[in-house]
Structure 1
Amino acid sequence: MADLVAAFDAAVANSKNLSERPDNGTLLKLYALYKQGSSGDIEGDKPGFSDMVGRAKWDAWNKLKGTDTDEAKQQYIDLISELS
């Protein structure tokens, strides 16, 4: 488990040094996997219609509801590895 946390932290650091910026869909997936891996299931209400970015982030994270935090961390690590 400590290895997974260390690898997740390293992937988060590596995400800031990608050679090119991922497309918006990939960025939303990274955001959702990060939030699910670090915070667990989403809580709170969906943002209003005027907050389009907030709604997109909320929807992406909400799709992962019920995903184990360790599984989300591993998926985040794998995705960052693919992008590097």
Structure 2
Amino acid sequence: MSLKEEFEEHAKLAKTLPDTTTNENLLILYGLYKQATVGNVNTSRPGIFNQRDRAKWDAWKANEGKSCDEAMSDYITKVKQLKEEAAAAC
């Protein structure tokens, strides 16, 4: 399985994470996903009154400079970690 195929498979798995997954972890996944699929941030930072989009933008910006493959690999690792934590909590 190629890295891209594995990434797409884990992107599907991420949608099945439990509701107890923290916002911090969801933002990490969001930032890695955007970096892997779009590349470096290409928009301006949302305004102070748009906290949700601002947090998402910051999470994406935190991954600036990572290659597509590096972001995909980090995303896969994070999804695996969160799935393991969820399974251990049961």
Runs (4+) of structure 1 exceeding 3 A deviation are none
Match of 2:76 in 1: 77
C-alpha separation between the residues in 1 aligned to 2:34 and 2:48?
22
Instruction: Give the SS at the match of 1:17.
Output: coil
Q: Report 1:3-82 matches (<5 A).
A: 3-82=2-81
Q: Percent identity?
A: 36
Q: How many residues matched? A: 83
C-alpha separation between the residues in 1 aligned to 2:31 and 2:47?
19
TM-score calculated relative to the size of structure 2: 0.86
Structure 1 stretches of 5 or more lacking a match?
none
C-alpha separation between the residues in 1 aligned to 2:58 and 2:15?
23
C-alpha separation between the residues in 2 aligned to 1:16 and 1:36?
18
TM-score calculated relative to the size of structure 1: 0.92
Structure 2 stretches of 5 or more lacking a match?
84-90
- The amino acid across from 1:28 in the alignment is L
Query: What is the Cα-based RMSD across aligned positions, in Å?
Result: 1.2
Which shifted more, 25-34 or 13-22? 13-22
Match of 2:86 in 1: none
